[in-house]
Structure 1
């Protein structure tokens, strides 16, 4: 566990906001943002730590046959992509006196924020490779860059043309874009853009929880803090090729006894002695990209995603 207990929750930290004298009954906070990977990628259940996902590696072929000649044979090959579930976890200690005196349910308030933090870690690792477990597959940005599926913003006359160019690049590799993810605030760059016929390419979301639409496909702004605007502006992808394996969904357990140690084994929190409880949260999840061969490019030249990159990265 990281040595980050200098910021432990205590009465002094929480007193002003969580233990009001008489008036406030709620915490004013940002609505927790969900994970775009857990929302959009193909999600599979895992019955063990590792699971094998077959991916098409060789396409069958066909041959003209002259009258009376023998028909030729063809083979189809599959490769195994292994998904390995790794553990995400955190322990949140809160003194009993703070829980007792607060006029809200602190545990229920903390839970969605922890879920948001888990989503941030998953998105950052899968999309940009940030703190990515070694057993996970190639992150999306690295795979897209290796396949040269990047378009620097400003390459075309506007962002609309850049997106269209990126979509064309993926189509030439045999993949159909079926959704986008982007940096927060991109909708304000898109709202005034039109296609060659003068039709808006972007449709804002009209209902809470419903993603906006770009060129008719859903667009999710990644607002949980995982998006790195210095590396990407927009991600276009065939999301069915991203696989999230869930071995254990998020579980919560409250402990009223026990000790919390730092990475050296030193006890930094004693729940019984310090009259506190701790919420332990655990999740086990894996990630991989299924990158099947296509008929439009040579094997190894394809990848089911691409990025609009910042102007500075041109």
Structure 2
């Protein structure tokens, strides 16, 4: 039995869609009704890291688990690893982050990911770590301003990030979950090149057939935007992370995607082409209001 946590999230959903459908697949989310992947035969269960009983039910009979946590500093990794060990799980594949390898990264989010990795290494279970760079899908946060204003706003628009297509991360996860030979290994997953927000804006505009504007945010403006989405400690961690990107720490390209999938990592242009509808203006209905 394979358990996929976070089955409604960006990567968890894509993993569920790619794993062999059948009764050997269990998908966990807070609201199982929102799970769309896995096929009709997959088992869907409600589970929360803060609810030991729900974790025990989700992990019963599981041999391999895919662990995705998002509540920074909330103890979710420890709760899951402890429950998985009690349930007799053989192998856990954890979604971590590429920043853990950066000695200069000491922000809250990176420290939390490092702690989660250490918990898993010390658990006595087999483990594999997937360390993606930023997801290309983060560009979806620009969709509203692209549709309404033809504008992308971002901090440090000229700094490169070797961002990765979440679908590549999901495919890599499926390989690790279903194959032997990945125990005690870590894979850094990046895109094929470092791209800047300004270059992403140009690529999106070309695909849309319009001239998009790029506007550089100040640190203060970026802090205000992020404060509308995240708690203050996470906002500061994200700003520290952006500063490391500005210094060039996120431009390195790795071969983890190719090593696991047997093909090159996908480009931002390819990701954007497949998600263009999110950025395209909604056409006005003829005769509306008549």
TM-score, with normalisation over the residues of structure 1?
A: 0.22
Question: Which structure's residues are more often helix, by fraction?
Answer: 2
Question: Which structure's residues are more often strand, by fraction?
Answer: 1
Which of the pair has the greater relative contact order for Cα pairs under 8 Å at 6+ separation?
Answer: 1
Larger Rg: 1
TM-score, with normalisation over the residues of structure 2?
A: 0.24
